[in-house]
Copies of this chain bind each other. A is one copy, B any other.
Amino acid sequence: MSKSISKHMLGLAVAQMGPIHLADTRESVVARMVALLREAKGRGAEMVVFPELALTTFFPRYWVEQLADADHYYEKSMPNQAVQPLFDEARRLSVGFYLGYAELTPQGHRYNASVLVDRSGHVTGKYRKIHLPGHADHKMNAPFQHLEKYYFEVGNLGFGVFEAMETRFGMCICNDRRWPETYRVMALQGAEVVLLGYNTPLVNIHWNEPAHLRTSTHLLVLRANAYENGVWVAAAAKCGAEDGHEMIGSSVIVAPSGEIVARTLTEEDEVICAMADLSLGEFFREHVFNFARHRRPEHYGLIVERTGAGEPLPVRWRDE
């Protein structure tokens, strides 16, 4: 295992956000975020997690005929004029943050992205969402769309791990949290804390999913992957009803034991905090999850050799 570079304790906060409606301006949203950042700082936070697509409504629920008609949802640079007050306040407070947003690059590529900003207000890491859920076609009969495969390309930066405030942070976004490969690739780079934002509709357009499962599977995957990888996980929802479209809340901070140590109670703007003992994760990675001692990659080949499921491999168990 690579040597941890952590200090012992990290003040970790999640800034859950209530709905952002189509009519809301960037400026009003950023003002809410500045208020949340101040509250988090006042409660001991050094790192604050904002949601996925935190600057706009969850626009992949709406169809547009031409992608160019959606350009106003995307940021052409980060930071930019509208979000500068958040970066300025972070530097003033000496607090870092994770921010999810829609990215439109100078070359015209579109990503569901997040940045890691250090306590001096500088962007020190970037992630572009890899596991895009939903579909690329207009589903005429659905109550709303889930067009992430239309609005975004698959991320091209891998699952990066970035150092800030003597801690190794991994980033992922929403649906990435349901795929164990996400966390494993970060843990294999020494990640100690995984940050993520999400927008999860209360209704699943693919099937008539019992409502309780929407929250229970969300919490289940965060808890299990925190444990299996010996990492802290901090997950921030955008939630409540955006122009009538409901999304789940239940933002949480999860310890490497798989235990939820903080969770939100509302579906509105709300800050939760925890003092994250980073040595706890290190401890798990030295014993039950000592990768170097216990992992057996020679038996994991199919994980990279296959995308979808195929036929069972032959097993020569009768030979001996």
Q: Please measure, in the bound complex, the distance between the C-alpha atom of A23 and the C-alpha atom of B188, giving whole angstroms.
A: 45
A227 beta carbon closer than 8 Å to chain B: yes
**Contact stretch, chosen from A24-32, A87-95, A303-311:** A303-311
Most B C-beta atoms less than 10 A away, residue of A213, A291, A305, A317? A317
Assign chain A's interface to a size class.
Answer: 35 or more
Most B C-beta atoms less than 10 A away, residue of A131, A287, A315? A315
Q: Please measure, in the bound complex, the distance between the C-alpha atom of A262 and the C-alpha atom of B261, giving whole angstroms.
A: 28
Which A residues, 1 to 58, have Cβ-Cβ distances below 8 Å to chain B?
1-2
Tell me if A131 and B296 are in contact (CB < 8 A). Answer: yes
Chain B residues whose CB sits within 8 angstroms of the CB of A185 once the complex forms = 299-303
Cβ contact of A178, chosen from B204, B228, B320, cutoff 8 A:
B228
**Contact stretch, chosen from A62-70, A101-109, A244-252:** A101-109
**Contact stretch, chosen from A160-168, A234-242, A268-276:** A160-168
Chain B residues whose CB sits within 8 angstroms of the CB of A312 once the complex forms = 160-163, 168, 189-190
A109 to chain B: closest residue by CB:
B320
Q: Please measure, in the bound complex, the distance between the C-alpha atom of A46 and the C-alpha atom of B107, giving whole angstroms.
A: 59
Tell me if A258 and B217 are in contact (CB < 8 A). Answer: yes
Given contacts A206-B288, A258-B216, contact A184 B303 (CB under 8 A): yes
> Which residues of A does B touch, CB under 8 Å?
1-2, 105-107, 109, 125-126, 130-133, 154-155, 157-163, 168, 175, 178-181, 184-185, 187-190, 204, 206-207, 213, 216-217, 220-221, 223-225, 227-228, 257-259, 283, 285, 287-297, 299-313, 315-317, 320
